[in-house]
Structure 1
Amino acid sequence: MKETISTENILKNIQDREHYIIFGYATMCKTCDISETMLSVAAAAREISYERINLNFYKTLIDKYQIRSAPALLLFKNGKLVREVYAFQSVTYLNEVLEKFLID
Structure 2
Amino acid sequence: MATERVTERSDGQTTERVVERDVGGGTTYVEKRGSGLGGIMVGVAVLAMVAIVAFFLLQANRNDALQTQAVTSAASSVADSAATAAEGVSDAAGKAADAVTPAN
Q: Between Structure 1 and Structure 2, which shows a larger proportion of helix residues? A: 2
TM-based fold match above 0.5: no
Name the TM tier (shorter chain): under 0.3
For CA contacts below 8 A with separation 6 or more, give which structure has more relative contact order: 1
- Bigger Rg over Cα: 2
TM-score norm. by structure 2 comes to 0.21
Structure 1 length-normalised TM: 0.21
